[in-house]
Amino acid sequence: MTDAPLTKADLIEALSRGAKPRDQWRIGAEHEKFGFDKSTLGRPAYEGPNGIQAMLDGLTRFGWAEVREGGHVIALERATPDGPTSSISLEPGGQFELSGAPLKDVHEICDETGRHLMEVKQVADQLNLGFLGVGFDPMWTRADVPVMPKGRYDIMRAYMPKRGNLGLDMMLRTCTIQSNLDFSSEADMVRKFRTSLALQPVVTALFANSPFTEGAPNGFLSARANVWTDTDPDRTGMLGFVFADGFGFERYVDYALDVPMYFAKRDGKYVDLSGRSFRRFMEGGLDDLPGDRATKKDWADHLTTLFPEVRLKAYLEMRGADGGPWSRICALQALWIGVLYDDAALTAAWDLCKDWDIDDHERLRRDVTRLGLKAQVAGRSVRDVAVDMVTIAKQGLKGRARFSGGMVDERGYLSELEDIADSGMTPAERLLDLYHGDWDRDLSRLYRDFAY
């Protein structure tokens, strides 16, 4: 007996079932980082005595289990004592990503992140490797970056240049920090989606940390964010429909259905379906897979190939921050929890941006890549909006009153962002000052001074 054909109602239900009561809301942190050989600063290949595979093998001593594809270890998984699973995965250029377990507060997130970075450092030190948290590879060309042996990446690498000029840079030369958050209902999802999407460029400015390309300043404060402006217009951007009347799960499903596919996975292998219609796949109308219909797993995979500034799955993903140090991995979680998990804070945050129109959103998304906190929106500087946003988050965290063992609440994780917002100086501008000053334009100092 075959499963019934997938319907649009099934796709809507897959999103709506993410709704949870407030006492079950969790936070999932993700962060990517660049590996480098300490002797050459080059990006490590997958194979070899000090390659990415050796890193993955070494981490198994800490209880991580291997995930294989085509005979290669391409990820690791580990269950927490309470049950939720975290994973380590590889981005196309070997960027090391921790996808953390869904946890209760920032204290747990920061502990999890610190434990991961400690484990990575122990193994990396033995392999003469280091890891660096920035938004864009500061030294190496696309051609210099080894590609990881994952089938989906071969398909994406072939398709990306057909849709934009910087898609391969996105795959090979960017790193981000992400925060994944829950919602209680469709209405709650809409409020959180609209507010977080509008304010995502403000976060891009606060976390801007990628001013170098191929060994020199690149004219951007967030080269990572600029990459997303020329990757693939079908699947990126500010999603103006999110701010329109009637937005909800169904409207997001309609958007996702209209985004061309990358692939489907059959018998453990990726089938190239780049440019094909998921709607036709649901109908069994793809010549590449004659008579084969899309499954719920295909839909879940397809949703991971959408790259807007905020992405909806069974939770909301905040996608606007450059990679950075441990402190800012924790800070991003605190910022979004403070804004989105407290009703008064969410209302106050929406008041900051509710009058911005779609032109404001798109202009701001582009302007912050070069101007950071000096960009303007609706007559205000982004710095002023950022100061207000951090203040609102701080009040939201105060209301949560989640204390660590040392009886410190979550507000302390915002101190670095307060400093950035108050000063109006992004992390990227501080790196540029070092580059032109103490470093005497020697970019190897970035790896020495800022590695984890």
pLDDT digits (tens, 9 = 90+) for 91-136: 999 999 999 999 999 999 999 999 999 999 999 999 999 999 999 9
Residue 288 located in a structural domain: no
User: At 27, which CATH number?
Assistant: 3.30.590.20
User: How confident is the model at residue 452, as a pLDDT?
Assistant: 97
The reported pLDDT for the residue numbered 1 is 35
Average pLDDT for 403-412? 90
Asked whether residue 21 is domain-assigned, the answer is yes
List pLDDT tens digits, range 187-234: 999 999 999 999 999 999 999 999 999 999 999 999 999 999 999 999
- In the chain, what percentage of residues exceed pLDDT 90? 96
Q: Does the pLDDT value for residue 82 go beyond 80?
A: no
- pLDDT tens string 17-58: 999 999 999 999 999 999 999 999 999 999 999 999 999 999
Q: Which token pair is 355? A: 């009058």
Q: What is the pLDDT of residues 315-358, one digit of tens each?
A: 999 999 999 999 999 999 999 999 999 999 999 999 999 999 99
| pTM (2 d.p.) | 0.97
| Predicted pLDDT at 389 | 99
* Residue range of the domain that includes 95: 8-259+306-438
Q: Does residue 449 belong to any structural domain of this protein?
A: no
14 within domain boundaries: yes
Q: What is the pLDDT of residue 428?
A: 99
In a domain, 174, yes or no: yes
Mean pLDDT across 350-379: 98
Residue 70 placed within a domain: yes
Portion of the chain with pLDDT greater than 70, in percent: 99
Count of structural domains, the chain: 1
Question: Which of 2-6, 304-308, 329-333, 432-436 is predicted with the least confidence, judged by mean pLDDT?
Answer: 2-6
Four-CA torsion 240, 424, 135, 448, nearest 10 degrees: -170
According to the model, what pLDDT value does residue 369 have? Answer: 98
| pLDDT at site 80 | 77
Is residue 386 in some structural domain? yes
Average pLDDT, the chain: 97
Q: Is residue 279 part of a domain?
A: no
The pLDDT of residue 2 is above 70 = no
Q: What is the pLDDT of residue 3?
A: 67
Determine the average pLDDT of the residues in 275-286: 96
Segment 371-395 mean pLDDT? 98
